[in-house]
Amino acid sequence: MQPDSPSTLERFQPVAEGVFVALSPISTVGPAEIAFVKAQARSVLRRRARLCLHRSSYDRLHDMVIALGHETYLRPHRHDDKSETFHVIEGNASVVIFDEQGDIERVIALGGERGQRLYRMDEPHYHTLVIESETLVIHEVTNGPFSPGTTDYAKFAPAEDSHGAADAYLRELRMRIKTFAKQ
């Protein structure tokens, strides 16, 4: 960061816990912003934070830098009319693709020496991310606008606010990934 450049909080406005939206039509993300989003993820209950480079949930393209802690649970879900791309900035995770009953169809290793650096999904499959490193930082691109009611959450997995059930499901899923990898 240049000595006269504004701080992250001067360039991104907090709009919800762990969510910051760009104030300018030109956004940059460097080491200071990565450190900031990681610190935010460590400080919030859900262990995730994002810098939205787009300025409105109504924008047609959503660009986000997202930090997720190892214990973050993302309920398996799908999007009927959206594509999503993840580019790993730092860390390791597995993208898990499920069938309708919750059986694993595919595991995509992201990050690390043997993992993929970029992943894109264009069709509505149930999926989740399982974080393997202490923190995962990704650049996600998806089409907007954002409408919370359009995400189809898998009935085979517990809700994120069912903490005990969600923690148990995540532990079980980590074991299932290991078993799946040996097949």
Residue 83 is which amino acid?
S
Q: What's the fold here for domain 8-182?
A: Jelly Rolls (2.60.120)
Beta-sheet pairing, 19-22 with 48-52: parallel
Q: What is this structure's pTM?
A: 0.90
Average pLDDT of 148-176? 93
Q: Is the peptide bond before 25 cis (omega within 30 degrees of 0)?
A: no
Average pLDDT of 117-137? 95
**How far apart (Å, rounded) are the C-alpha atoms in residues 24 and 75?**
32
| 1 pLDDT higher than 60 | no
Q: Which two tokens stand for residue 84?
A: 């999503």
**How far apart (Å, rounded) are the C-alpha atoms in residues 12 and 162?**
31
Average pLDDT of 108-121? 90
DSSP secondary structure code for residue 7 in this structure: P
The domain segmentation of the chain, as residue ranges, is 8-182
**How far apart (Å, rounded) are the C-alpha atoms in residues 128 and 180?**
15
Residue-wise pLDDT for 52-81, tens only, equals: 999 988 899 999 999 999 999 999 999 888
Say how far residue 162 (Cα) sits from the centre of its chain.
19
Average pLDDT of 36-52? 95
Phi-psi region of 134 (alpha: psi -120 to 50; beta: other; left: phi over 0): alpha
- Sorting pLDDT into bands at 50, 70 and 90, what band is 115? confident
